[in-house]
Amino acid sequence: MNVSSSRALPVAAAALTGTVALYMALVAFGNITDFGTNQQFVRHVLAMDTTFKDDDLMWRAVESTALQDAAYVAIIVWETVAALALVAATVLWAKALRQHGGYRSARRLGTVGLLMVLLLFGGGFIGVGGEWFAMWQSEDWNGLDAAPVVTLAGLVLIVTHLPGVQAEENPR
């Protein structure tokens, strides 16, 4: 595939957005089709039952399984919406690349999906799960391996907003 230098960044943005879209679609699909595995994960993290049981922290624990399950369903819905936004953005990138321009819609929708990923993995898993619910203390239920996802989504967000991608070419 011959990619001109003026189209290299949009091609990269499209490919990277598609990569995160695929990842998020598989994450959502996995959580929907294997509901129980990560349901247990969320329950243990929110219950804080495998942490150091520090009295200064345990007041944060959510012991209601109904609230735990509601949080898990909300996570799955968030993942699914992020995946759908990123898949749609990838389609828009492909369309804009065929037309040699008009990247604005793809960039906007991709930005929404990427921010959703960053908020979920960075704010939700690392921030809330890792620090508020002291997930880092658990040997069995520690999901702080979300950092690479934050890095990838952040990198893709940066690439999609580089000046070479923002230049709106007129479709031919």
Residue 168 phi/psi, 5° resolution? -85, 105
> Is residue 107 within 8 Å of residue 160, measured between CB atoms?
yes
pLDDT in tens, the chain (172 residues): 556 667 999 999 999 999 999 999 999 999 999 999 999 999 999 999 999 999 999 999 999 999 999 999 999 999 999 999 999 999 999 999 999 889 999 999 999 999 999 999 999 999 999 999 999 999 999 988 999 999 999 999 999 999 988 755 444 4
Q: SS3 string of 136-172?
A: HHCCCCCCHHHHHHHHHHHHHHHHHCCHHHHCCCCCC
Residue 161 phi/psi, 5° resolution? -110, 10
Residue ranges per domain, the chain?
5-163
